[in-house]
Amino acid sequence: MNLRVYDIGRPMERLFPLAEHQKPNLDRRIDTIELADEAAFGGPADHFVAVLDGTVVCEAAGEYIFRLVCDDGARLTIDGDMVVDHDGVHAPSGKDGTVSLAAGPHAYRIDYFENEGGAELRLLWKPPGAAALATVPAAVLFVDRVPERMTSPGHKQVLDGMEHARPGDGMPLEGVHPGWAVEDLRPAGFEPMVGGMAFLPDGRLVLTSFEPVNDGVLKGEPNGTVWVLRNVIGGNPGTVQPERIAGGFYDPTGLAVVDGAIYIAHKPDITKIWDSDGDGKFDRREVFAKGWVSDNYHHFAFGMLPKDGYLYGTLSTSIYFDNTMKADHVIGDVVAMNGPNPEHRGTCWRVNLETREFEYLAGGLRTPNGIGEGPEGEIFVSDNQGAWLPSSKLINIRPGRFYGHSNGRQRSDRYPLGGYPSLNEEHGFSPPAVWLPQNACCNSPTMPIMIRGGEFAGQMYLGELTMGGIRRIFLEKVDGEWQGVAFRFTQGFESGVNRLIEGPDGCLYIGGTGSSGNWSWRGTRTGLQRLRPTGGSAFEYHSISATPDGFVIRLTRPVEAAWLANPANYSLTEWRYDPTPNYGGPNVDTTDLGVASATPAADGRSVRLVVPGLKPGYVVHFRIDPRSADGEAMWSTEAWYTLNRIPR
C-alpha cells in the first residue's frame, strides 16, 4: 500500500483535512500496516499526518471485523464508508469496527496523526471463519497503480482553523527567550539522561542519570548512576569534568543536597552518600530511609525538596500494558493502563531528616514528576495527564487532600484482595491551582521553581518534557486558595526539560532526558545546558489577575490606548474538565466569551476587562495579538487561566 507522511510542525488534537495540492514529505510503499514507532513511519518524530491507501482483497463474502490500534488518532474507511473512528490524542489502544463485504477487491484508506510522544499504527482483521484477530497480511493488500512519488520538504497545512499559526501563537515557541542565552555544558561523550540535579555547597553539580524504558517491564538490574561535575559554574563543554561517584540505583528520579550530603530517591529507598573526612570524595553510603514499595516499572520516587528539616517528594502510580497484565495475572478490566498499586502510591510524602520517619501528606497523584517551593513557601507539585487526569496540572499540596487520581483496585497475583485505594480519596476531589491544557500549553510538566528576581519575581518557572521548553506561572490567592495562569516562556534546548534548578550564579540549569515512547521531545534523549540572563526582555504577558467581573491583563510593554480599549481585540474561551477513568479527556462545555468593556490604564501596560458569563471551576483561554507602542509583536499571544474561584 501507499504511505504518505506530511510534516505539520505543530500540535494537533484530532484529524482535520489536509490542505489541497500539497506534496508529502515522504511517499513510499509498505507491505503491511505494522508501524510500531516513529522510525517506522520514516518522517519527523512528532506533529505529522500519515495517509495509507490501497486495495484489500476479500476471499469470501461476510462480516469482517477490523481493529485499528493507534497512538495518536486514526480513521479507517472502506469503499468510502467509515469503519473505525479512533480519533483524538491518546495512548496506544485499539478500537474495532464491523463491516459486511463482498468477495473481491475493496478500496481502503487510513488517515492518521501523531501529536507528541510515541507513534504507532497497526491494522488487524478477523475475516469470516477466522478464530481470532490477526494482522492484515501483505498477500491481500495491493496498490492499484504505482503513483508518481513526488515529495517536497517543509511544513504542511491541516485545515483546523490554525493553519496560519506562528510560533507562540497557536503553536509552541521555537526560539530562546530574548532575556536569556542558552549555553551547552556536556563534554564530548558525556550523554546523561538526567533524573535529578542539585548543587553542592562548593559549586559542583550533582546529577543522577538513568535510561528510562517505556516497555512496562520492571527491571531486575540497577540502571542508575550518580555523577559530580566540576567547573560547571562559568564553565563550558571544554572545562566541565564529570566524575562517576556511585552506581547501583534503580531509576533515580529524586535528588537533594543537604549540608553537603547527597540524598537519592529511587525505586527501593532513599540512599544517602556523603564525604566523611572532607577530602572531596564521597566515601560513605547508607540506606537513609525506606517508606514505599515499588513493584511496577512506573513506580518512580520523584523529588526531592529540602525544607524546614524535611525532605519532600512524590510517588507515581502503576501503568499496566498487556505484557505486565499477563505477567501479573491481573483480573478485571484495566482502563487507561490504570492498575493496582501497593500502599502509599500516588502521594506527596515527607521524611524527617533527624528521625527518618515518613509522613504521607496528600493523595490522588498519578505521575507527579516535579516538586518545588512556590509563593509564601508553599509546596507545588506538577502531575501528568492520564487516567482520571483529563489534562496535566500544577497542584498546591495541602495535607489531607485528594487530587483526583483513583488507583486501580484490580486483583492480581501481587494483590489477591485488590490494590490499595488512593490516600484521602474519601475527602473528595481538590482542584489544581493551574490546569495545563494538554497539547496546547503542556504535555508532561516537570520541575516548578520560584523566580527570585527580575520583572517576574514571585512567579514560577515550570519545565516541560514532551513539548519541550519552560512555561511561566503566575499565581494569586482567592479565598485562601491558589489559582492562576500559565504562559509559554521559552524553547531552544537540546532536549525536553526534565530537571530545572537555579544555580548559585543566578543561571538556570536544565537537565534533559527522553524515552522510546512518551516523554521524549523530538526524539532527543540527553541534555545538560545553562540559561544565562542577558538583561534583555520581550513584549509579553506579565500576569493576569481575576476580578469580580472579569480580569486585569498586565503587559511588559505599553500598548496604544485605542487598541487596548477595543473589546473586539480580545478572544476569550472557557471550558471545564470532567475527570473520568479514561486516559485524559476533552474540554467540556466550551463557550466563547464576549468582552463587555476594556479599560486601559494610563501607562498602557494593563487593561481591565469586564467579561460576562464567567463560571468558577473553568479554564479561560486568552488570545491577544497587539503590537507594543514601539511596534514589537508579542512573544506569545496565548494564556490559560484557571478560575477556581471568582473574587468577591
State residue 163's pLDDT score: 72
Q: How far apart are CA 346 and CA 299, in angstroms?
A: 9
Listed in sequence order, the residues at least 6 apart from 327 whose beta carbon sits closer than 8 Å to its beta carbon are: none
Residue 182 lies in a domain: yes
The amino acid present at 288, given as its one-letter code, is F
Residues 455, 343 within the same domain? yes
pLDDT confidence of 517, banded at 50, 70, 90? low
Task: Say what the pTM is.
Answer: 0.86
State residue 304's pLDDT score: 95
CB count within 10 Å of CB 648 equals 6
Residue 596 parent element (H or E): none
Most confident of 20-24, 159-163, 328-332, 356-360: 356-360
Tell which residue, 224, 308, 228, has the closest CA to residue 260: 228
Residues 445, 515 within the same domain? yes
pLDDT confidence of 87, banded at 50, 70, 90? very high
Residue 448 lies in a domain: yes
Residue 170 parent element (H or E): strand 170-171
Whether the Cβ atoms of residue 248 and residue 267 lie closer than 8 Å to each other: no
Percent of the chain surpassing pLDDT 90 = 85
Mean pLDDT to the nearest integer, 408-429: 96
State residue 215's pLDDT score: 82
Question: Grid coordinates 477513568 are at which residue?
Answer: 581
Residue 557 domain boundaries: 542-643
Residue 432 phi/psi, 5-degree rounding, is -75, 165
Residues 172, 152 within the same domain? no
Residue 90 lies in a domain: yes
pLDDT confidence of 165, banded at 50, 70, 90? confident
pLDDT confidence of 148, banded at 50, 70, 90? low
Mean pLDDT to the nearest integer, 441-448: 95
- 1-15, 287-301, 339-353, 557-571: segment of lowest average pLDDT: 1-15
At 241, which CATH number?
Answer: 2.120.10.30
pLDDT digits (tens, 9 = 90+) for 295-307: 999 999 998 999 9
Residues 204, 280 within the same domain? yes
Residues 239, 375 within the same domain? yes
pLDDT digits (tens, 9 = 90+) for 154-163: 888 888 877 7
Q: How far apart are CA 558 and CA 545, in angstroms?
A: 18
Q: How many CA atoms lie within 13 A of 616 on its CB side?
A: 12
Residues 533, 597 within the same domain? no
Residues 573, 594 within the same domain? yes
CB count within 10 Å of CB 631 equals 7
pLDDT digits (tens, 9 = 90+) for 586-626: 899 999 999 999 999 999 999 999 999 999 999 999 999 99
Mean pLDDT to the nearest integer, 573-584: 94
Domain boundary among 133, 164, 195: 164
Domain boundary among 537, 568, 586: 537
- Own/partner long-range contacts of 22-25 (Cβ < 8 Å, ≥24 apart): 22/152, 22/156, 22/157, 23/150, 23/151, 23/152, 24/51, 24/151, 24/152, 24/156, 25/151, 25/152, 25/153, 25/154, 25/156
Residues 511, 632 within the same domain? no
Residue 419 lies in a domain: yes
The amino acid present at 587, given as its one-letter code, is N
Domain boundary among 491, 516, 537: 537
At 60, which CATH number?
Answer: 2.60.120.1560
**Residue 184: pLDDT over 80:** yes
pLDDT confidence of 560, banded at 50, 70, 90? very high
State residue 313's pLDDT score: 98
Residues 152, 246 within the same domain? no
pLDDT confidence of 345, banded at 50, 70, 90? very high
Residues 393, 244 within the same domain? yes
Percent of the chain surpassing pLDDT 70 = 99
**Residue 240: pLDDT over 70:** yes
Q: How far apart are CA 405 and CA 393, in angstroms?
A: 12
Residues 72, 125 within the same domain? yes
Residue 648 lies in a domain: no
Tell which residue, 193, 179, 269, 278, has the closest CA to residue 227: 193
pLDDT digits (tens, 9 = 90+) for 632-647: 999 999 999 999 999 9
Residue 38 parent element (H or E): helix 38-41
The total number of structural domains that make up the chain: 3
At 598, which CATH number?
Answer: 2.60.40.1220
- 21-35, 199-213, 347-361: segment of lowest average pLDDT: 21-35
Residues 515, 587 within the same domain? no
